[in-house]
Amino acid sequence: MLLQELTDLNAHGARDIATLAKTWEPILDRFPGWFWATDANYRLTYLSDNIGRITKTSREDLIGLYILDADYGDVRTEAGIAEYYDLLLKQEAFYNVCYERNLVEGKRIVFMDSGVPIFDADGRFAGYHGISLHVSHATEQAGATSSLVFALKNRADALEEELSRRNAELEAKNELLIEVLEAMGEGLMVTSGADLYDPNVVVEIVNPAYRKLFGLGPKDVQIGTSIPDLVGRLIRNGDVPNDPAKIDKMVKDMQAERPIVMDLGTQKKTTSVASSKRKDGGLILVHTDVTNLRSQNVKLEKALHTAEVATAAKSNFLATMSHEIRTPMNGIVGMADLLAETALSAEQNAYVETIRSSAQALTNLITDILDFSKIEADRLKLDIAPFVVRDFISEISGLVSGLARAKGLEFVVEIDRNVPQAVTGDSFRVRQILLNLLGNAVKFSLKGQVGLSVQTSAEQGGLTFCVTDTGIGIPDDMLEHIFTPFEQVEGGLRRGFEGSGLGLAITRDLVQAMEGDIRVTSQTDVGSTFTVELTLPEVALDRAIKHTAAPMDTVRLEGLRVLVAEDNKTNQLVVRRMLERAGVEITTANNGIEACALFAAQQFDLVLMDVSMPKMSGLEAAQAIRTQEAQQGLAPCPIVALTGNAFDKDRASAFEAGMDDFLAKPVRLRQLLECLSRNISTAEGKDPGAVKHARS
């Protein structure tokens, strides 16, 4: 009530409050408080008498003082006073605000103040009217409670301050986060749960990039949008397939954090979605627009396909060329071999030799080209087996020494005594490497010597082969180019050396296929040294010997009955002439069908089968013969493929069709006879009655 009256005094000034105080004086005598009033500058304009009683300060000393400076004389410290002053400065009404003052002698007094601002007729602040109540006795009863209240209040204030500081920080961070989400190029969608069919699972975060990707507006997808509703909209839009099985798979992939790719039909876009599970069970889905990447991939795939088609065409071309060249070469080589066996004049002999060596060069070239394309197409397979090093080197020496001798060169072989007796590796390919290098050493040397040395490498299980010559040498600037296909050093003395420029390219590739190393040092007009290091681990000698083919028994071929299936008349003639000279009885078939018919009607000891033939291929004919034998319970008759198709795959398909051996055209007389002997002796060895049985 008193406060109400105080409020009503608004704008009436100090005098009126004095009147009011007078009215209340009888009560105030016993009332532990006083009235006070200030002007607009917070100077005390009125204090009721009992201030002197309560604070032992006379009001005359206080009137006119700035309220915040009035120290009531004996009062020194304050608790809650700062807040009280803050309230005053706000020029707003306040009620029952407590603050504490400590008297000099140590007594603590607590005041409870209420105040109302007063305003003049123009609404300007004119000062305060207020009452201060001395409530120490009340709080004393409560003992520590009051200080606790202050302490708590202070603590609460501090906490409130900390809270608002943290809130401000959090808000700043939130703003930053929102900025990032809005700026990021990836579409972001965070869901409240992982069960995307549950209508209670909603969007928790979505950014503009997500909406852009799916062509959606802010209202179509926002925080709180139910996920099944959103999926429904995407299905209607045509950006999610209307196929429950596909959707199910997509959802399962997302739940399992598997990346998925989505084609957004209406947007003509492709997005890849990376999903991760949130700790509380929701999903974070990041959509990246991979439309450009996809179209680049499509282009690359097309380019790859074109390249594959081109490679396949190249392989086919090579296979066809190889076949087409090898077939007539068989005629040339075979006929030249036969011609050489007849009585010829010296001049005629020289011509025949030229035909033979030219044919050999051409055959080598075809083999090199096939080898090179095989390595290039990564189809080279190594055939690893144990072999005896000294036997291997002496076989190579046998081949090279003749060539060297013919050119008046010395050929020197050195094998270090540390070199193991037997090693394991692809001896066929090592032979090819060394023959290429030795062939060049002989070819490019006009005098002096060619050498081959073998030592153990510093590396465990390695052998180092050195091929040296005293030839024309290689200029420094060409040393790194000679391993490039078709690259040859030109000019000067070099004119007139035959070669394709493929030998060293193949050699280097073979060395690399065996994970070895090849180096060259050379000096023009002094000579060259090619060093090859290969890993060829040592093996027990007996294993290598077992593996090395036993020397072939020469089987007498006289009276042997051979069926030759061959469509090319020249080649029929070549084989007939070659074999008839060894006393072999020949029957010829012009195609597979004829071959099968003859095989069914007559007994043969061996079949020589061309592969590409009209009407029925050699492969089909071999299969038919094997079936026939099985049905009649006959022992298998040896079938040898004699073909211009000289790829590994041709060899493999010949064996698959049931053939026993493989000869590539052009075939040399010796090769053919050896092959026949080998197969006849194997057939006899396999089952002593086999050949007889087939003949009977």
Selected from 54, 430, 452, 472, the binder of ligand ADP by CB under 6 A is 472
Q: Does 451 bind ligand ADP (CB under 6 A)?
A: no
User: What residues are paired with 303 via a beta bridge?
Assistant: none
Q: Does 54 bind ligand ADP (CB under 6 A)?
A: no
Q: Does 400 bind ligand ADP (CB under 6 A)?
A: no
Q: Residue length, the chain?
A: 696
Least distance from C-beta 488 to ligand ADP, angstroms?
3
Residue 622: count of CB within 10 angstroms of its CB: 27
For 110-160, the three-class secondary structure string (H helix, E strand, C coil) is EEEEEEEEEECCCCCEEEEEEEEEECHHHHHHCCHHHHHHHHHHHHHHHHH
Least distance from C-beta 587 to ligand ADP, angstroms?
42
Token pair in block for residue 182: 């809005």
Q: Does 113 bind ligand ADP (CB under 6 A)?
A: no
Q: Does 482 bind ligand ADP (CB under 6 A)?
A: yes
Q: Does 499 bind ligand ADP (CB under 6 A)?
A: yes
Looking at the Cβ atoms of 429 and 576, the one nearer to ligand ADP is 429
Q: Does 504 bind ligand ADP (CB under 6 A)?
A: yes
Selected from 102, 456, 457, 488, the binder of ligand ADP by CB under 6 A is 488
Least distance from C-beta 485 to ligand ADP, angstroms?
8
Determine the size of the site formed for ligand ADP (CB under 6 A).
20
Looking at the Cβ atoms of 262 and 474, the one nearer to ligand ADP is 474
Least distance from C-beta 436 to ligand ADP, angstroms?
6
Stretch that binds ligand ADP, among 33-41, 307-315, 502-510, 646-654 (CB under 6 A): 502-510
Q: Does 637 bind ligand ADP (CB under 6 A)?
A: no
Looking at the Cβ atoms of 411 and 444, the one nearer to ligand ADP is 444
Closest to 489 in 3D by CA, of 449, 555, 443? 443
Least distance from C-beta 646 to ligand ADP, angstroms?
20
Q: How far is CA 171 from CA 159, 162, 205, in A?
A: 18, 14, 17
Q: Report how far residue 490's alpha carbon sits from residue 430's, in angstroms, rounded to the nearest whole number.
A: 28
Half-sphere exposure of 346 (CA within 13 A, CB side): 0
Selected from 52, 462, 475, 501, the binder of ligand ADP by CB under 6 A is 501
Cβ neighbours of residue 244 under 8 Å, at least 6 residues apart?
A: none
Q: Report how far residue 635's alpha carbon sits from residue 622's, in angstroms, rounded to the nearest whole number.
A: 14
Token pair in block for residue 169: 């920080």
Stretch that binds ligand ADP, among 181-189, 190-198, 305-313, 436-444 (CB under 6 A): 436-444
Looking at the Cβ atoms of 264 and 441, the one nearer to ligand ADP is 441
Least distance from C-beta 642 to ligand ADP, angstroms?
28
Selected from 444, 465, 604, 662, the binder of ligand ADP by CB under 6 A is 444
DSSP 3-state of 383: coil
Token pair in block for residue 481: 């180019």
Least distance from C-beta 475 to ligand ADP, angstroms?
9
Q: Report how far residue 574's alpha carbon sits from residue 475's, in angstroms, rounded to the nearest whole number.
A: 46
Q: Report how far residue 388's alpha carbon sits from residue 427's, in angstroms, rounded to the nearest whole number.
A: 10
Looking at the Cβ atoms of 472 and 690, the one nearer to ligand ADP is 472
Footprint of ligand ADP on residues 526-545 (CB under 6 A)? 528
Residue 539: count of CB within 10 angstroms of its CB: 19
Backbone φ, ψ for residue 49 (5° rounding): -55, -40
Peptide bond into 551 cis (omega under 30): no
Q: Does 386 bind ligand ADP (CB under 6 A)?
A: no
Least distance from C-beta 400 to ligand ADP, angstroms?
13
In contact, 282 and 188? CB cutoff 8 Å: no
Q: Does 389 bind ligand ADP (CB under 6 A)?
A: no
Closest to 458 in 3D by CA, of 401, 509, 533? 533
Q: Does 210 bind ligand ADP (CB under 6 A)?
A: no
In contact, 587 and 595? CB cutoff 8 Å: no
DSSP 261: E
Looking at the Cβ atoms of 522 and 645, the one nearer to ligand ADP is 522
Least distance from C-beta 520 to ligand ADP, angstroms?
8
Selected from 489, 575, 641, 663, the binder of ligand ADP by CB under 6 A is 489
Backbone φ, ψ for residue 245 (5° rounding): -65, -40
Token pair in block for residue 43: 């100077």
Selected from 6, 14, 396, 441, the binder of ligand ADP by CB under 6 A is 441
Backbone φ, ψ for residue 199 (5° rounding): -65, -20
C-alpha radius of gyration, the chain, whole number: 54
Least distance from C-beta 469 to ligand ADP, angstroms?
5
Footprint of ligand ADP on residues 257-316 (CB under 6 A)? none
Least distance from C-beta 597 to ligand ADP, angstroms?
47
Which residue in the shown chain puts its C-beta closest to ligand ADP?
A: 499
Closest to 463 in 3D by CA, of 427, 516, 385? 516
Looking at the Cβ atoms of 425 and 473, the one nearer to ligand ADP is 473
Q: Does 404 bind ligand ADP (CB under 6 A)?
A: no
Least distance from C-beta 368 to ligand ADP, angstroms?
8
Angle between helices 669-686 and 291-341 (to 10 degrees): 100
Tell me whether residue 213 is exposed, middle or buried, using C-beta atoms within 10 angstroms of its C-beta: 0 to 12, 13 to 18, 19 or more.
buried
Least distance from C-beta 456 to ligand ADP, angstroms?
24
Least distance from C-beta 615 to ligand ADP, angstroms?
41
Residue with tokens 């700062």: 82
Selected from 474, 589, 607, 608, the binder of ligand ADP by CB under 6 A is 474
Q: Does 409 bind ligand ADP (CB under 6 A)?
A: no
Token pair in block for residue 278: 């949130």
How far from chain centre, in Å, is Cα 249? 25
Selected from 237, 255, 500, 590, the binder of ligand ADP by CB under 6 A is 500
Q: Report how far residue 264's alpha carbon sits from residue 238's, in angstroms, rounded to the nearest whole number.
A: 7
Q: Does 75 bind ligand ADP (CB under 6 A)?
A: no
Least distance from C-beta 458 to ligand ADP, angstroms?
25
Selected from 503, 516, 644, 666, the binder of ligand ADP by CB under 6 A is 503
Residue with tokens 């900390």: 162
Least distance from C-beta 481 to ligand ADP, angstroms?
8
Selected from 471, 516, 644, 666, the binder of ligand ADP by CB under 6 A is 471
Least distance from C-beta 505 to ligand ADP, angstroms?
6
In contact, 131 and 9? CB cutoff 8 Å: no
In contact, 447 and 470? CB cutoff 8 Å: yes
Q: Report how far residue 445's alpha carbon sits from residue 436's, in angstroms, rounded to the nearest whole number.
A: 14
Q: Does 468 bind ligand ADP (CB under 6 A)?
A: no
Looking at the Cβ atoms of 282 and 499, the one nearer to ligand ADP is 499
Selected from 100, 469, 509, 533, the binder of ligand ADP by CB under 6 A is 469
DSSP 3-state of 655: helix
Looking at the Cβ atoms of 366 and 691, the one nearer to ligand ADP is 366
Stretch that binds ligand ADP, among 178-186, 379-387, 456-464, 501-509 (CB under 6 A): 501-509
Alpha-carbon dihedral sign for residues 367, 368, 372, 378: positive
How far from chain centre, in Å, is Cα 335? 57
Q: Using CB under 6 A as the criterion, which residues of the chain lie in contact with ligand ADP when the complex forms?
A: 440-441, 444, 469, 471-474, 482, 488-489, 494, 499-505, 528
